[in-house]
Every structure is written in C-alpha cells, then in structure tokens.
C-alpha cells in the first residue's frame, strides 16, 4: 500500500532558495516552489498543502501579510507555516509566532536543518 507524500509549498522570491529547497526535499515530499505570494494564493485554490515554507521579505506582498490572510481564512488557518528569513535577531525570531507561524528558519539553511524543522512541525 503506497502512502501519500506530504505536500509542501515553498514561497520565496529567490529562485536559488527555491531550487535548493526543492533539491533538499523532493525525495521525501511533494514540493511546490512558488516565486510570489500571488502565485501562492493562485496555487492554494488548487492544492492544499500540509505545510508552508514562507519567506518573510518579498516584493508586493510580504510573508507577514500572507500569514495574516491565511490565518483569517478558516479553510487555511490550520496549515502550519514556517517562516524562512535571512534576518536573525530577537524581533524576527518571536514576531512570526505572534502571527501564528509554527517556527522560524534562518537562511542559509542546511538540508538537515530544513528536514528537522519540517519533521518537528509535522509531528
């Protein structure tokens, strides 16, 4: 009996981060790399992910606005979100949790860090 792989949406305006993340995760998860919040919301109407990896700093619609919209929509409010950011300070560490994110992952990340963060979240 085949088990269904968990779906992860990666939202980041940096194509290199998406490529690296997909490379790290493709063997274990069904990965949807998305270059903008607009593409994310379009894809969300078609695919419901088990987890969202969300860049904080993006043009047009940033990660904080994305998570606010997600948490306000009862269809998506329970999907766990991990913020992915290059900013590493006390404010950026705790702000995501105030908005409803599960965790925060700092760029650059290793394959092991990414997998551990995801596995911990999906338990």
Place of tokens 């965790």: 103
Overall fold of domain 7-122: Rossmann fold (3.40.50)
Spans of all domains in the chain: 7-122
Q: Evaluate the omega torsion of the peptide bond into residue 108 and state whether it is cis, within 30 degrees of 0.
A: yes
Q: What is the pLDDT tens value at each position of the chain, 123 positions in all? A: 556 899 999 999 999 999 999 999 999 999 999 999 999 999 999 999 999 999 988 888 989 999 999 999 999 999 999 999 887 655 555 566 778 899 889 888 999 999 999 999 998
What is the pTM for the complete model shown? 0.91
């Amino acid at each position: 009996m085949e088990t269904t792989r968990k779906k992860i949406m990666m939202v980041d305006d940096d194509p290199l981060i998406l490529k690296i993340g997909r490379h790290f995760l493709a063997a274990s998860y069904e990965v949807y790399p998305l270059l903008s919040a607009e593409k994310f919301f379009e894809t969300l109407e078609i695919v419901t992910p088990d987890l969202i990896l969300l860049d904080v700093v993006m043009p047009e619609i940033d990660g904080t606005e994305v998570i606010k919209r997600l948490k306000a929509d009862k269809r998506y409010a329970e999907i766990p979100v991990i913020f992915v950011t290059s900013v590493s300070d006390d404010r950026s560490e705790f702000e995501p949790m105030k908005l409803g994110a599960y965790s925060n992952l700092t760029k650059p990340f290793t394959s092991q860090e990414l997998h551990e963060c995801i596995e911990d979240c999906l338990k």
